[in-house]
Amino acid sequence: MLVAERDGLLIDAAAARRHDGFVCPECGRALILRRGDLKVSHFAHLPPVECREARGETEAHHWAKAALRDAFLERRMEAEVERRLVGDPAERRTDLALALPGGGMVAIEIQRSDLTVAELRTRTASYMRASVPVLWVGLVDAALAERIAAGRPGAGQSPEGLFLDRLPLPAWARFAGRLAFGRGAWLDPATGALWIGRQEVARQFAAPFRRGDPETGFQDVGGRWSSMKTRVDLRLHGPVPLRDLIVRASRRRAARIGGMDLPAGPIAWFDTEDGLDGRIEAFTRGYRAARAAVLGRPGAAAPDRTRAGRPAP
């Protein structure tokens, strides 16, 4: 946690001068202040930790909250960590509450290690009922960092971005992506980079059987393209300097896509001052149309490979 209570006041860990007397605003138990040159100053519960506000918080989580807050504060935007945005006491505090220039607030939530789709959906719907759009931010883990590093150098700034195909993504990240029409954001705690991404359901081609041909050997006969349940094709754009980030908000209708129930209400996503999201959107539309022309609908027989693979009569 980055904020604790002391003598009835909320104190930020980075600004705390004393080392004792802090209590958790949520559960009221004593907190200790942790400081270090490498770590982000934060408050910690003493074990055993039973407080729900402390669950799933990691060093990367602390850093992400503080980095985004500081980037917005530097530009004189109103940003506050660990604020209760939704009145419902069953809800956790928001990682970062940001005031939108046109009025209203947006809730920025950093991925937690223990996040489930059910929890993400409940929280998103709860924010939506309170007319607060929520923007879920992922953290780049070792596996994703490896894929980013293997991407073409400099391609992150091109309209095509870094193309990470068939990337396994946790269910909550796929849900959050669908909620915002494929949009997503990932923060890398190791490098400080922020990537803005677009995800598509990954597809695979399966040839159900093969026919032997004495002249040419075995050939694929038939086959179908199908959606991969846990993998996405992800395009990442960036790294985007945090000082260039802005938030856009809109609304979405309820929908059921790929077995996921998406609630209706306000949504939000990151963009840059110079309109990166619009450029990605234009590229993505062209890409989707081209892919649909080649692959057809998920589950449909592949038009070209089926014919091409069939031995001549």
Distances (CA, A) of 253 to 40, 178, 250, 264, 265: 39, 12, 11, 4, 7
Residues 51-80 that bind Zn ion (CB under 5 A): 51
Query: Of the two residues 4 and 246, which places its CB atom closer to Zn ion in the complex?
Result: 4
* Other Cβ atoms within 10 Å of 150 Cβ, number: 9
* Residue 249 is a binding residue for Zn ion (CB under 5 A): no
Residue with tokens 């922020």: 194
Q: How far is the CB of 98 from Zn ion (least distance, A)?
A: 24
Distance spanning both ends of the chain, measured CA to CA: 71
Binding-site member from 14, 27, 228, 249 for Zn ion (CB under 5 A): 27
- Toward Zn ion, which CB reaches closer, 57 or 233? 57
Binding mask 164-203 for Zn ion (x = CB under 5 A): ----------------------------------------
Q: 292 vs 161, 208, 238, 259, 303, CA distance in Å?
A: 20, 22, 26, 21, 12
Q: Give me the least distance between CB of 50 and Zn ion, in Å please.
A: 8
Q: Determine whether 83 is exposed, middle or buried from the number of CB atoms within 10 Å of its CB (0-12, 13-18, 19+).
A: middle
C-beta of 52: minimal distance to Zn ion in Å?
8
Task: Rule CB under 5 A: choose which of 4, 26, 126, 280 binds Zn ion.
Answer: 26
Name the minimum Å distance from CB 134 to Zn ion: 22
Nearest distance, CB of residue 61 and Zn ion, angstroms = 15
Stretch that binds Zn ion, among 27-35, 184-192, 235-243, 253-261 (CB under 5 A): 27-35
Verify binding: residue 30, Zn ion, rule CB under 5 A: no
Residue 3 in the binding site for Zn ion (CB under 5 A): no
What b/e readout covers 263-298, taking b as 16+ CB neighbours within 10 angstroms?
bebbbbbbbbeeebbeebeebbeebeeeeeeeebee
Q: Which residues bind Zn ion (CB under 5 A)?
A: 24, 26-27, 51
